[in-house]
């Protein structure tokens, strides 16, 4: 990217609308710099008050002090031993005025199901892949490196992206252990991008990449007080990401601000010859969407069938709706139709595709792994049950192993059912009938207590309609319930990321709800 493109992305004159000055940040100390975003860090580096090497070093120290000691968040599963070397190279390029773009020299964490052809493993949290290095970078990693990002490590996750057990505990993997919520250490981060959510909430890097099949970006982002973007299926390549299901899987950014998430999405988006779904990828200038007036005149469908699950969450959402109206949006009460018609068939499709897609990934990216397919993975876990299954089993893996191929009529019928009721007779229908720009609803409830006896206690989530349809979903901090973050979701039709980002940004700037966690051991109920 040339200098003009760099400026256009909003880092020179504040297209992102950020108000912090380099002088104020310098006086506030390193904490303000680490918790600050892309624009602030770039301004400091441009002013020779910060280098990528020093920024990376400070984040690595914070990981040692907060993640591995102190509150022990346990969000990081592995540190990149080449991180400081990469940072030095980005500093050298900056001195030569070879700026690659907004992410030049910016530290980024990757979820540990995203392949990197370096000295780090790619394991999905499983001991079956411990020590296995990928044959090459995932496409999104290659794009991040080309954009100048400094990959500083990988984050823990719900093992196999939470597609292992019907009784799972989100944020736990055999390789990484349990990730804890920075807003209440006894509570869950949700899954499966648990480590990415906790790490960015705790300020362990500027940005992180999560992945989602259904809720695995937006739920931990909401519960950890972050912005998360689940893009349209095909906007980002799936190549090199340990899969669950190609009909729903996608990577996406997790960040402390909408502007940061927008910059990261722009860096990762683009066509990949190895992923046919990206042939029609419609990347946009997401920084240009960062306009405080983006809600003016918008028609928003308030998805009422996703309210009424938690009165405290509803109270925060009522305030959020008032803000949307005050910013010029017109609210229309709606219901997303047919959401119950793909409950069972969604899982069937995921199981079929998981079996097929995992074998393909292992063959291409991990040919030296000790397991080659789902059946061998199931057997590995049985042989290592004391370490792999101390808390819960592998029911989903066993069910996937028993499935047939992707030519079976049962699979084809289930996939067609999912797409019909989530798209044409789901999101598309309600948006067309009410002439909507987006749907809004609470992303999820507040974090639940981690419970290894009973497993997860999910609240009703707004993730499935967009996830099954393959449509974009943006969550943004919307307040707190008993000290625990909750998020507001914006969902739209295919390739409407720019519009959703603009609306989320306008809401974020009008509210500025996010506040840094204080790592309490627990939280107490607060009077209403």
Q: Could you report how far apart the first and last alpha carbons of the chain are, in Å?
A: 51
Three-state DSSP class for residue 42: helix
Residue tagged active-site, from 52, 111, 194, 239: 111
Residue 111 is a catalytic residue: yes
Q: How far is CA 207 from CA 161, 260, 261, 381, in A?
A: 20, 7, 8, 33
- Give dist(CA 430, CA 22) in Å, integer: 46
Task: Report residue 281 CA to chain centroid gap.
Answer: 19
Residue tagged active-site, from 52, 168, 192, 461: 192
DSSP conformation class of 267: H
Residue 121 is a catalytic residue: no
For residue 301, the surrounding DSSP H or E stretch is strand 299-303
- Give dist(CA 499, CA 260) in Å, integer: 16
Residue 192 is a catalytic residue: yes
* Residue 31 near residue 39 (C-beta atoms within 8 A): no
Residue tagged active-site, from 170, 216, 219, 494: 216
- Give dist(CA 11, CA 39) in Å, integer: 5
Angle CA(482)–CA(486)–CA(490) in degrees, nearest 5? 160
For residue 57, the surrounding DSSP H or E stretch is helix 52-62
How many CB atoms within 10 Å of residue 260?
Answer: 28
DSSP conformation class of 126: -
- Give dist(CA 238, CA 175) in Å, integer: 23
- Give dist(CA 229, CA 253) in Å, integer: 6
Q: List, by residue number, the catalytic residues.
A: 111, 192, 216
């Amino acid at each position: 990217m040339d200098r003009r493109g760099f400026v256009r992305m909003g880092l020179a004159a504040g297209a992102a609308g950020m108000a912090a000055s380099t002088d104020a940040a310098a006086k506030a100390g390193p904490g303000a710099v680490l918790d600050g975003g892309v624009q602030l860090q770039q301004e400091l580096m441009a002013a020779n008050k910060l280098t990528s090497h020093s920024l990376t070093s400070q984040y690595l120290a914070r990981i040692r002090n907060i993640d591995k000691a102190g509150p022990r968040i346990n969000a990081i599963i592995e540190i990149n031993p080449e991180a400081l070397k990469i940072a030095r190279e980005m500093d050298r390029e900056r001195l030569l005025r070879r700026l690659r773009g907004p992410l030049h020299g910016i530290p980024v964490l990757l979820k540990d199901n995203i392949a990197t052809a370096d000295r780090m493993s790619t394991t999905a949290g499983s001991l079956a892949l411990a020590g296995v290095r990928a044959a090459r970078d995932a496409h999104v990693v290659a794009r991040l490196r080309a954009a100048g990002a400094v990959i500083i490590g990988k984050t823990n996750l719900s093992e196999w992206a939470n597609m292992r057990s019907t009784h799972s505990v989100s944020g736990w993997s055999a390789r990484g252990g349990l990730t804890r919520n920075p807003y209440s250490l006894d509570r869950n981060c949700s899954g499966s991008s648990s480590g990415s959510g906790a790490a960015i909430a705790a300020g362990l890097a500027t940005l992180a990449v999560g992945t989602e099949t259904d809720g695995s970006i937006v739920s931990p982002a909401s519960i950890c007080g972050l912005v998360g973007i689940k893009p349209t299926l095909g906007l980002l390549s799936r190549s090199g990401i340990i899969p669950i299901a190609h009909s729903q899987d996608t990577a996406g950014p997790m960040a402390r601000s909408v502007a940061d998430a927008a910059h990261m999405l722009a860096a990762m988006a683009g066509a990949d010859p190895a992923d046919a779904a990206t042939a029609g990828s419609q990347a946009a200038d997401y920084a240009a969407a960062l306009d405080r007036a983006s809600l003016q005149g918008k028609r928003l469908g308030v998805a009422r069938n996703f309210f009424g699950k938690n009165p405290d969450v509803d109270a925060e959402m009522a305030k959020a709706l008032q803000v949307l109206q005050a910013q010029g949006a017109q609210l229309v009460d709606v219901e997303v139709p047919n959401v119950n018609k793909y409950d069972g068939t969604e899982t069937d499709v995921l199981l079929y595709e998981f079996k097929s897609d995992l074998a393909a990934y292992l063959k291409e990216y991990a040919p030296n792994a000790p397991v080659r397919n789902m059946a061998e993975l199931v057997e590995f876990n049985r042989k290592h049950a004391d370490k792999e299954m101390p808390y819960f089993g592998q029911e989903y893996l066993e069910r996937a192993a028993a499935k047939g191929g992707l030519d079976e009529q049962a699979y084809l019928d289930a996939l067609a059912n999912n797409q019909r009721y989530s798209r044409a007779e789901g999101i598309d229908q309600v948006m067309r009938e009410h002439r909507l720009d987006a749907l809004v609803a609470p992303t999820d409830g507040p974090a639940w207590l981690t419970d290894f006896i009973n497993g997860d206690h999910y609240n009703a989530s707004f993730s499935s309609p967009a996830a099954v349809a393959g449509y974009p979903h943006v969550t943004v901090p919307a307040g707190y319930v008993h000290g625990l973050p909750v998020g507001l979701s914006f969902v739209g039709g295919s390739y409407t990321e720019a519009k959703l980002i603009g609306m989320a940004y306008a809401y974020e700037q009008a509210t500025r709800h996010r506040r840094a966690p204080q790592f309490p051991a627990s939280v107490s109920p607060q009077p209403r």
